[in-house]
Structure 1
Amino acid sequence: MANPRPKVTEPLTVDEFCQALKISRSTFYEWRQKRRAPHCIKLPNGALRIRQDDYEAWLNDCEEAA
């Protein structure tokens, strides 16, 4: 029996991440500079993306710290 394909979800853009948390882009980049933002992927064009798994793990870590 073949393994089913894993569900692939599109990574979040910085704007999508900011909209989801209702924060400004400057707050995101401040968190990133302080290493408090989720892990990001840097694309060849310089754009950043956040994998759904990294986003969810980061949210869980925030919840545990609260």
Structure 2
Amino acid sequence: MASTKKLKLSEVLTEIGMSRAAFYRLRARGKAPKLIKLPNGQIRCRRSDLDAWWAQHETCA
């Protein structure tokens, strides 16, 4: 099984152009990309989960 790239929270925030506070508000409403909490307390997001989140939130203009 191929390893999926895992992004740091700072990388996710940069990509989606959002502050940490705004991201956590989005997460509290259940609308943020799926995150993984590592045993050391750090947070990661699978590249595939972030891509799926982007696809789900795309709108046709």
Instruction: Return the TM-score normalized by structure 1.
Output: 0.79
**Deviations 1:36-66, CA, capped at 9 Å, x for gaps:** 10111010111110000100001000015x8
Aligned length: 61
CA RMSD of aligned residues (A): 1.9
Greater length-normalized contact order (CA 8 Å, ≥ 6 residues apart): 2
Q: Which runs of 5+ in 1 are unaligned?
A: none
TM-score (norm 2): 0.85
Structure number with bigger Rg:
1
State the partner residue of 2:31: 36
- 1:22 equivalent in alignment to 2:20: no
